[in-house]
Structure formats: structure tokens, C-alpha cells
Amino acid sequence: MQYNPGWNGSSVNLLHVRAAGPGDSLHYVWSSIGAPAVLLVATQSPSSALRVNWTQLLSPSPAGAVWIDPPDSVVYSTAVVFTKLFEFSEAKPLEELFYPTYDLSEFSWDSLNHTLNHTALTAELSGAPTTDPGGGFANGSLAFRVTAYEAGGRAGRLPSLLHTADSSQLEFVLAGVAPRGNGSRFVLEVATVEEAGAVRRLRSERSIDDEYTPTIFESQNSSSTLGFLQWKATAYGSRSPRREDGIRCRAQGLRAANWTLPVSSVVQAYFGESLGSTCTVSALNVSFGGEGGQVYQEKRYLSW
């Protein structure tokens, strides 16, 4: 794990996680420059390296500022961008009242360096809106916790997702954020970027040892799966989750993102001009809350 490689400041966050195999390597690049995002690049070289032109990355035109050396070793690249947090309440049956949206590209983020643990391979990206007229984040924050793995296994904390040495885990945490309505529910918008030629699909997978059906978003070419996101349809309303702290979460279907991707410098820096032309951008909304959204109202804590 490297924090801001080639840059001495901590006013911006870029975390590079590199996993090297005998004949290949994986690069995960997490960043909060613009909207929080992660870039995944798979290469056919065990010694491939991430390169960053920082002056260009922090400029208004970041295209081309992030690349992998040697470029011809890259076999696959994709990105996930966390774009918006919506909040709504049900004013009457079948009537939803939406509050002003929290745009994650307009958040201020703490230095990730303070939370980086090279032994546990973990880091936490925590932020709040730069302007917060409603004061919802006065005592709260939104965070993304990243864990990389050196071996396969199952996470110790609920919902105990399976992982391999190739995968990274992300936990989304909303803590102390004041709801703006009675029984407010929150919705996280997630966008994915795929290179041309990848086929995307969303599927549920049920197995006998999984209490909650995992949902998998995967992209494939004609012969094999290239990359995937997997999650379980549950969130938790406690820092030390037990089964009774479960909050139902629901992913609405995958849709083409025909809006412009919000400014996420690391994604624009890597994909450049192809982002608006040959790349496919898809989005899905993940909503949290049971009947009436009462669990969050009481606990003021949500992790997924």
C-alpha cells in the first residue's frame, strides 16, 4: 500500500494497493480527488508500476495523468465511482419527499494517511459536505473503509463476505448524520466504468451457507469474467454488528448512466477521452432502511 506515491502533501488522497503474482499484478487506486472512486487495473506483468503526473492530475484537465507502466501489460481496467447520497422520507403512503442531494464530489475529505495501517492492510476515507446549510453533518461523517487481503477467507465481521487474495473489501459507513425528516431513508448512487466490449450483468446468488443472498455485478468478455462487485442485501445499525442490527438494503436495477459522470479526477486521469466516448458508464442505487427507516433514526449509524 502506498499513500500519494510521488507527492509529499496530504491535502489530497490517493491510495495505491498493488498485488503481485508470479506472472501478473493487480493495481487498486482509491482516491477522493473529486468524487470518491476506485480504479482497478489488471496487468500481465509482475513488475508493472503505477505512474502519476501530479501537476496534471490536480489541474482542470487531468486526462492522461495516471497510467500503468509498461502500458502494453494492461489486460483489463474498470472503475467504480461513488457519486451521490440521496435522502428521502415517505410523507404519505406512496409519496416520497426527497431532500437536497449530497454530492460526494463536493465533500471535504480527511487525510487518509492518519488511518493507513500497513500491517492490517486497511485505510479509511472520511468526509463531510464542504457546505452543509441543513447542518446534517454537524456531528456526523460519511466514510469508506478499505481492506486489502493477502489470502482467501471470510471476513470476521458481519455479513462475513468471502474474499480472495485478489479482492479488496469496501465498507460504507454513515455515522452521526442527522436525518432531515422523520423516518428518512438514504440511497447511495454507485457508477461503474467499463471499457468497450465488456458485457455487464447483475445477478443474485444463493448458497446454503449465506444468510443473505449476495448480489453480484460482473462484467464479462466472451470467454471469462473480468471483474465483479459483490455485496449482501443487508446493512447494519451498530458499530459491533449482530444479526438483530440488520437493516434491509435493496439494489435497484443496473441502468445506463446517460448523465455526465461527476468530476472524479482519478477516473478521468486514467480513461481520458474514452470516458465520454467508448467507455460504458452504468449506475445503480442502493437504498437502506426497513419499514419507516426507524433503525437509522434511533441509532444514527449505518454500515454496508
pLDDT for 182: 78
Query: Which has the higher per-residue pLDDT, 231 or 147?
Result: 147
203 has a pLDDT exceeding 90: no
- Residue 210: its pLDDT value, please? 57
Give the per-residue pLDDT at 148: 94
Distance CA 186, CA 62 (A): 32
**Considering only 98-102, 133-137, 173-177, 235-239, which range has the smallest mean pLDDT?**
235-239
Q: What is the mean pLDDT of residues 248-272?
A: 82
- The confidence score (pLDDT) of residue 97 equals 85
Residue 134 has pLDDT above 90, yes or no: no
Residue that has been written with the C-alpha cell 436525518 in this structure: 179
Amino acid identity of 195?
Answer: E
Q: What is the DSSP letter of 252?
A: P
Tens digits of residue pLDDT in 264-298: 789 999 999 888 788 888 899 998 876 555 677 78
State how far the Cα of 88 lies from the Cα of 96, in Å rounded to an integer. Answer: 6
Average pLDDT, the chain: 87
The rounded distance, in Å, linking the Cα atoms of 122 and 96 is: 38
- For the cut 90, the answer to whether the pLDDT of residue 54 exceeds it is yes
| Domain definitions of the chain by residue range | 2-303
CA neighbor of 302 nearest in space, from 189, 205, 171? 171
Q: Would you call 111 exposed, middle or buried from its count of C-beta atoms within 10 A (0-12, 13-18, 19+)?
A: middle
- Please list the alpha-helical segments (H only) found in the chain: 54-57, 265-271, 294-299
pTM of model > 0.95: no
Predicted confidence (pLDDT) at residue 62 exceeds the cutoff of 70:
yes
Asked if 173 and 302 count as a contact pair (C-beta separation under 8 A), the reply is yes
Higher pLDDT, 260 or 77: 77
Average pLDDT over residues 195-205: 79
Among 12-16, 38-42, 252-256, the minimum mean pLDDT is found in: 252-256
